Chain A
Amino acid sequence: MMENQQTLRGAIAYNDLVAAVGAGNVSRNPVELQAYLGDASFLGMVMPKHKLRIDMPDFIVFPETTEQTAEVLRLANVHKLPVTPYCGGAGVQGAAVPLYGGIVLDVKKMDKILAIDETNLTVTCQSGMIGQTLEWALNAKGYTYAHIPQSSYCSGIGGFLAGHSAGVLSTKYGKIASMVLGMEVVLPTGRVIRTRAVPQSAAGPNLNHLFIGSEGTLGVITEATLTIHPLPEVRQFRSYVFPDLHAAFEAARKIMRRGLVPGTLRISDLVESLEFYKQDGSFMTLSFDGFKELVDLQEREAMAIARAEGGKDLGPEPGERWWQHRFTSVYPKDQGTPLDMGRHTFNVGNVIETAGSFTYLEAIHQEMGEAVTRIPGTTFKAHFSHWYKTGGMMYPYVVNSGAASDEEMVDRYFELHRAAVGAVLRLGGTITHHHGVGLTLRGFMPREFGASFEALQTIKHALDPNNIMNPGKLGFEGR
């Protein structure tokens, strides 16, 4: 809150921070503060331009080491200043919005690769590395870490871990959690802990999973050891169109059940298939990567399953085109940008993605579609793009237009969430598969967790007694 800019208390806090990280690593320049007001979320980026004021942060701090990060958190406890960890700020749920001002702790100056272990296939890096920068460094040596979200160019390792993200190849390589061996975390009190970077361990609960997805509420992730893979010899695509969504789901279920491990498996519902791919029916794109003989075999088996479910083979071209343009939808457009589609027209779908069993996916597609289109001016379509042997993820595309005022748009935004997430919780899915909770879904966390939310809150209180770490996120209390 800006009061720290004008008070003696604020001046002392500033000088303490300067002592900790150096004058060049603390900013209270208004132009710089403005740049950290929000992230890529509707609430954090679009709403301030629609009259919803967000308090300025007081200080932007750029620690260069784990030790400096620890000292900043210790000082935040001394001054009772909230701390919002910030990496790429590309989250769409508002987790990096500094809701209560205070310190924005930007980790991006911690951007070094500490080790690439080619024998044991790991990379250890600091959390401030931008995803594509890490990928380039690995590619130069013939490797990939295979985490390729659409935000690969603009978000970083710390954000991937804190937001529990998934890339477009997650069906084969897993979400970020399954890529992590060990981590270094600065706890809210300034204590530094490390988890062992080993393939697996039975020594109690896996603490990595306490911090992955914690959205900066339980500490600051400063380092991670991740799995890497040799660059695949080939990546081959195949697309199909099925008579209906159920047939496509059946093909997906059987492909996963057979253990074919596609890198990509994307299914569009009938509306999206027609609009995006000009296909009557349900469109599916598959990719396999690895060495040629195995990829050919996987593709052949998948084709047999697709044919048996009524899939018409569209060849490799649609999938190759999708791969070439897999980030295109993120870029701004004259009509309908992902973030600000125009006056009183907005897309809420990217923040109500959900996951569940195969049975659930068919049901939620029907029920969420019905629930949201009851709200005036709403259209609904969806795709399904992260798969497991036990189910998958639905990514809806929900556009609302026609609100008469800013206030009505905000009301509709939350009304759509209540309708969509209500259906998710009724049918037994999760409120988010990979975009996280942030500001948008925090109110649903007690229902998502049920009685176990108390256990989560107890952990939060124990680790962060002064509630300095990203207050108000993940459903935890604010300031």
Chain B
Amino acid sequence: MELQKVERLARLCETCPKMCRHVCTTHVVTHSEADTPNQRCSVAYQALLRGYFLPEEAPYMYEKCATCGLCLTWCETDIDAGEVMLAARVDLVDQGLAPEAALALRESMSRHGNPHGDPAERRFSGIREALKELPETAEVLYYAGCDTLYHHPEIALAALKVLRAAGVEHTMLKAGEPCCGEPLRLMGFLDDFRAAARQVMESIIASGARTVVCTCPSCLRMLREVYAAYDVPVPADLTFLHMSEYLNRLLVDGRLKLTRDIGLRITYHDPCDLGRRLEVYEPPRQVLAALPGAQFTEMFFNRKDARCCGAGGGLALTNLPLVMKASRTVVDLAQDVNAEVLVTACPTCKTSFSRHTLKGDEMETLDLVELVAMAL
């Protein structure tokens, strides 16, 4: 069983009196003892001991963990319960117990090349005109990802606008940008994930780009560190950056000039994959500090302690009501500091928060690059 690889984590976690329950994304929403990293690890460990999962345990393993890493942040034993969950899901797939939502995702990936079930030909429909202006090859490749292109093309448009304004020679995978594969990994389909990852790397290598910039932290995390951990070859001379990191470099180098006063009270949400996972905390803040007229206030929980929007770990597919409640807690924190704009740097977070902060409300959710585009 895949769980063998994380046996120690599961075994130790189940003996803890739940020292991370106060931060667990699902537990703070449901308050149930079942929804704690400890209990999830306990179920996984018991399954490992008996050698198989019980059918009723399958949905539990898929619907309750956002793999957000908050438990790890608070664990002095360095246990990442999310890792145990992902291993459990691989075993559930192997045992033919993957739930409907996971199977539907795999089907969508297979048929459409994205996790949303949207037709592949619509991938670039939100940015078609901007795409036409891009060269075939360039030093810098903007890798937008499925959530940006299908749900938030405005983020991609802002990214392209800012790169153009800074005079960066850039392009995208115009012939077809494959999904990074992360949704497959989250649902336990490791073979499919590796195949997707190899396809992405082949496309990037073929593009000739040296620097890959992402607006999606999950895509970036796959490229920067996860592919290699799954034995997918990644050339050492490729550089992978989040848009916030790249924009910060452009600002420091004086290539990007922000002149327009945006005059907004803003706060910033650290996305899990960008913050806790990749430890990119300061570049987004440095970019925000460069916005003319922005009044920035931190939320009470920030950086490694930032709450999760709830949509991690595939929960947007398996447990949307939970995502709604988890994202509400972050929106409440932003309202506590009287922000007009809840800034994030992740399209998935934007989807989660925007459900509570519609445009025209007292507070709006924007991606960092959108604010930068406003300040040009």
Give me the interface of A with B, judged by CB distance under 8 Å: 27, 29-32, 34-36, 40, 45, 60, 62, 86, 88-90, 106, 108-109, 111, 128, 130, 132-133, 136, 140, 151, 153-155, 327-328, 330-334, 337-340
A339 to chain B: closest residue by CB? B15
Asked whether any CB of chain A lies closer than 8 Å to the CB of B296, the reply is no
Contact yes or no, B31 A89, CB < 8 A: no
Of B74-82, B228-236, B287-295, the stretch lying at the interface with chain A is B74-82
Task: Establish whether residues B18 and A132, one from each chain, have CB atoms under 8 Å apart when the complex forms.
Answer: no
Contact residue among A31, A109, A153, A154 (Cβ-Cβ distance under 8 Å from B43): A31
Q: Is the CB of A332 within 8 A of B39?
A: no
The answer for the CA separation of A106 and B36 in the assembled complex, in Å, is: 14
Contact in complex: B15, A332 (CB < 8 Å): yes
Contact for A133 among B8, B22, B33, B34, CB less than 8 A: B22
Check A154/B22 contact, CB under 8 A, given A31-B60, A140-B300. yes
Q: A140-B300, A327-B19 are in contact. Are A35 and B31 (CB under 8 A)?
A: no
- List the B residue with the shortest CB-CB distance to A329: B76
Q: Give the residue of B13, B20, B31, B79 whose beta carbon is less than 8 angstroms from that of A106.
A: B31
Q: Quick check: A35 and B20 within 8 Å, CB to CB?
A: no
Q: Provide the B57-68 mask, 1 if CB < 8 A to any CB of A, else 0.
A: 100100000000
Knowing A88-B21, A130-B22, A332-B13, say if A27 contacts B76 (CB, 8 Å): no
User: Could you say which residues of chain B place their CB within 8 Å of the CB of A330?
Assistant: 16-17, 19
Bound form: Cα–Cα A295–B228 in Å: 54
Chain A CB within 8 A of B12 CB: yes
Contacts of B21 in A (CB 8 A): 88, 130, 153-154
Give the dominant DSSP class at B's interface. Answer: loop
B residues near A89, Cβ cutoff 8 Å: 17-18, 33
- Is the contact region of chain A dominated by helix, strand, or loop, or is it mixed? loop
Q: How far is the CB of B42 from chain A (nearest CB, A)?
A: 8
Write the chain A residue with the least CB distance to B16.
Answer: A332
Check A333 against B31 for contact (C-beta < 8 Å): no
Tell me whether B110 is interfacial, beta carbon within 8 Å: no
Q: Which residue of A lies closest to B12 (CB)?
A: A332
Contact with A along B3-34 (1 / 0, CB 8 A): 00000100011011111111000001001111
CA distance A423 to B57 in the complex (A): 47
| Cβ contact within 8 Å between B15 and A334 | no
Contacts A330-B17, A331-B75, A332-B13; is A128 near B31 (CB within 8 Å)?
yes
Residues 227-269 (chain B) with a chain A CB within 8 angstroms: none
- Nearest Cβ in chain A — how far from B319, in angstroms? 13
A290 to chain B, nearest CB (A): 25
Q: Are A62 and B17 in contact (CB-based, < 8 A)? A: no
Q: Is A106's CB under 8 angstroms from B33's CB?
A: yes
By a CB distance below 8 angstroms, the chain B residues around A334 are 8, 12
B100 within 8 A of A: no
Q: Known contacts being A328-B76, A330-B17, A340-B15, is A62 close to B32, with CB within 8 Å?
A: yes
Let me know if B76 and A331 touch, CB within 8 A. Answer: yes
Give B60's nearest chain A residue, CB to CB.
A31
- Complex contact B20–A153 (CB within 8 A): yes
Q: Please determine whether B32 and A333 come into contact, CB atoms closer than 8 angstroms.
A: no
**Residue pair A90, B18 in contact (C-beta under 8 Å):** yes
CA distance A62 to B16 in the complex (A): 23
A36–B17 Cα distance when bound, in Å, is 13
Q: B133 interface residue, CB < 8 Å from A?
A: no
**Chain A residue with minimal CB distance to B321?**
A24
Q: Which 5 A-B pairs have the closest CB atoms?
A: A108-B31, A40-B17, A332-B12, A35-B34, A35-B33
> What residues of chain A lie closer than 8 Å to B60, measured between beta carbons?
31
Docked CA distance A337–B43 (Å): 19
Which residues of chain A are near B56, meaning CB under 8 Å? 29-31
